[in-house]
Structure 1
């Protein structure tokens, strides 16, 4: 009897294999995307966790934020010499009503006068002992400062700013230092303050010394907000 011909073409088998691999990749990518939106560091590693918010995050449901595990909230209060966060004062009240500790953040402008920036911060942030230590956001932003100052000038201006803010707050600040700014100025080694670092999912080492706070995710989705939030943990 004549042998039956094999009509299966090699190209069809390869396409089926590629299709299966593509499906697996899509499923894995979907799971990674979902995990990135919901991931928080383990409470066994970081018992104290919270958020960093500004009015850009839109309305916050503080009851749901507390239920999600926020022990504290750092609220952006001011930026540069004149910008003030419209949601700051109401946010302080709302957070406290839910038993959430509150701290204030100033977004520092490398090109703006230190005195004027400090005045902007102390105008909006009250002198209250119950507030957490002020956090100073330090980053290189070409929109506000296209020509960054040299190391000596930057450190001199920042020291002036810190002296005035710490006199008002009556406690040392926390330096929220970005990777880019730390590479440029090496502040962690030059200024003796607690350090706040940022990197999604993996604790960073760019500060070169132990940090106190870490923004572990800037894409966490919670029912408390319509937008992703910055989730922060404390190292104790």
Structure 2
């Protein structure tokens, strides 16, 4: 009797595991196809960088993207070697294009702004530049005060805005906001991220929202970070 009970339990657990796997597969497939409703958010686009690989910009435009933000520079030294090629390709496909710099709190603002300026041209047709703040100071060789981090970020924003000739957007992760509370002290439009649900951790309305970092698109390989704009 005990052996039969163990077999029954094993079968039930196996069936439940199969159901969970199927449900998970369906949910993953649905997420890869999902974008926020067009009636509510008519302006949608993508963020693109080395992690996405090659891009089929015409296919992305056909899938509803009207703009593309391209990862351009990171800290004082790193650059995305595909930036110029993707800038030309996205424009040729009719997309509006902007550039993203990833802020490194361990490095001073001046060389970071210089790094951005060496890869992103002065071009009035570019979208407002974006400064991404998504990392803490845990990896810094020295301990930095919150005030020092905020000061360098403010300097970087000002310098990138001078180069671009227009106000920047602050792309802020939940973790960075929790650690530094920067959104409530820097008056810049916000770019926030949260899969499927609208983010509210900035404490004020967002301008751009990474709604689905796993969006697959017809005509291309892999997934893309899908972004919507608030009109």
TM-score (norm 2): 0.91
Aligned residues: 228
Shift of 1:63: 1.2
Structure 1 residues without counterparts, runs of 5 or longer: 1-8
Tell me whether 34-43 or 126-135 shows the greater mean CA deviation.
34-43
Deviation, structure 1 residue 204: 1.3
State the Cα distance separating 1:155 from its structure 2 match. 1.4
Alignment partners' CA distance in 2, 1:196 and 1:234: 9
- The equivalent position to 1:38 in structure 2, one of 33, 49, 53, is 33
Alignment match, 1:168 = 163
Q: 1:78 to 1:180 in 2, by over 3 A?
A: same
Q: How does 1:216-231 map to 2 (within 5 A)?
A: 216-231=211-226
Secondary structure of the corresponding residue to residue 71 of structure 2: strand
Give how far 1:149 is off.
Answer: 2.2
The residue matched to 2:213 in structure 1 has which SS? strand
Q: Take 1:186 and 1:101, find their aligned partners in 2: how far apart are those partners? A: 31
Pick which of 218-227 and 121-130 moved more. Answer: 218-227
Task: State the Cα distance separating 1:140 from its structure 2 match.
Answer: 1.4
The structure whose Rg is larger is 1
Aligned to 2:47: 52
Residue of structure 2 equivalent to 1:3: none
Task: Give the drift of 1:84.
Answer: 1.2
The 2-side partners of 1:106 and 1:85 are apart by: 10
| Structure 2 unaligned regions, length at least 5 | none
**Worse overlay, 209-218 or 141-150:** 141-150
Tell me the alpha carbon deviations over residues 193-227 of structure 1, each in whole angstroms, 9 at most, x when there is no partner. 00000111111111111110110111112245433
C-alpha RMSD of matched pairs (Å): 2.0
Q: Pairwise mapping of residues 174-189 of structure 1 onto structure 2 (< 5 A)?
A: 174-189=169-184
Question: Matches of 2:98 and 2:139 in 1, distance apart?
Answer: 24
Q: Do the aligned residues in 2 keep the contact of 1:110 with 1:148 (CA within 8 Å)?
A: no
Partner of 1:156: 151
Matched, 1:140 2:135: yes
Q: Distance in 2 between matches of 1:154 and 1:71?
A: 34
Quote the Cα distance in structure 2 between the aligned partners of 1:146 and 1:225. 41
